[in-house]
Amino acid sequence: MMPRPDPRHFLRRRLLLKGVLGAALPGTLLSCSSESKHAALVVGGLPVTCNLTLPIACVARAAANNAGPAAGPRFDYEYSKYNGWPEVKESLMTGRIQAAFMLAPLVMDLSDRKIPIKIVSLGHRSGAVIMVRSDSPYEHFRQLEGKRIAIPSRFAVDFLFLRKMLAQEGMTPADVTIVEMAPPDMPAALYAKAVDAYCTGEPFGAAAQSAGYARTLRMTRDEWRNYICCVLTVREELIRDNRPLVQDLVNHVMGAGVWLDADRENRKKAVAIAAGKRFFNQDPNIIQFVMDHPTDRVTYGDLRMIRGEFDELMQLSVEAGTIKHPIAFESYVDESFAKVAKPATILL
């Protein structure tokens, strides 16, 4: 029989994780270069491991700036931490920020609504999990019929992942009870048996798993290898007015991805950077758990933008009703930067 975790230990973890997202304000800017002599590009993101390439890119660019005289144009990035996708979306729509990591289906939808933004790079691969209690009997989705399953929102790619898994067993979302819930609250809800399962991105699966009361039922690394969710998105006026800056940002995000997957020691360095107050402000042990269990729970090295993968995501979104009709690839993607990208060398 599984030992019952100490509720006080669990509560500390829950409050820490919830505070990571809840305490962040959209206007909170975390500069990566205190010596900057010119305006830095503000890039929005959430403190989730799917966004891990962003703080690495930010710190790596600052390190390059401080290493000596620049051979070319000097750029700086500032990390702006948000507490949810709606706030990121609003800031991009209104022009409060010019760049951010965003949910791919949200970008598709905004583009269809004539918001001038474009995806210029992926941010990660995989990273979503479906969690159940360790002491539950669930091994197959048919056993979850009529049960409560939490998702971040019906616009999240996590919901599309859940739909794919249900479909494999001839089920639909109508066969379960879908509950929309903020990811920081999901571990607590599972612990209290308020839900029977939840589907979300990391580190909110790892938080419950590392505490000992939850296990993975399915992971995108096993079921959807070309899964894409968070993408680097910029406003079109930034592309028009400063292509070299956008290219440099893409190069550094891609370079961060290569660096993260090249060596486990690099991932340890990344955890130390991202866990700090300047970025995610999270328990480093939980982020490290994501990096190690297993090591390809989230991957970053392959950030190619493949049209067929976006087409699949589009079709799944249309079937789910989150997007009303197919949207032209060119209307929401600018491939030009990724096609000529030279991943930056990350010296950290």
Closest listed residue to residue 30, CA positions, set 58, 7, 68: 58
| 321-333 pLDDT, tens digit each | 989 999 999 999 9
Place of tokens 């290569």: 258
Predicted local distance difference test score (pLDDT) of residue 153: 83
Predicted local distance difference test score (pLDDT) of residue 158: 93
| Helix 204-211 / helix 7-22 crossing angle, nearest 10 deg | 170
Predicted local distance difference test score (pLDDT) of residue 70: 60
Predicted local distance difference test score (pLDDT) of residue 116: 97
Predicted local distance difference test score (pLDDT) of residue 38: 60
CA dist 129 → 39, 126, 300 (Å): 38, 9, 17
- Which DSSP string do the residues of 77-111 spell out, in sequence order? EEEEE-SSHHHHHHHHHHTS-SEEEEEHHHHHHHH
What domains sit in the chain, N to C, each tagged with a CATH number? 10-126+228-339 (3.40.190.10), 127-223 (3.40.190.10)
Predicted local distance difference test score (pLDDT) of residue 23: 35
Residues forming a β-bridge with 45: 81
CA gap 70, 287 in Å, rounded: 33
Contact between 24 and 83 under an 8 Å Cβ cutoff? The reply is yes
Cα angle: 333, vertex 336, 339; to 5 degrees: 110
| 61-93 pLDDT, tens digit each | 999 888 766 666 789 999 999 878 889 999 999
| pTM, to two decimals | 0.84
Predicted local distance difference test score (pLDDT) of residue 11: 37
Place of tokens 């933008």: 305
Residues forming a β-bridge with 121: 232
Burial (0-12, 13-18, 19+ Cβ within 10 Å), 178? middle
Grade residue 18 by pLDDT with cuts at 50, 70 and 90. Answer: very low
| 182-212 pLDDT, tens digit each | 888 899 999 999 999 999 999 999 999 999 9
Amino acid identity of residue 194, one-letter, is A
CA dist 60 → 55, 254, 303 (Å): 8, 12, 18
198 Rama class: left (phi>0) / alpha (psi -120 to 50) / beta: beta
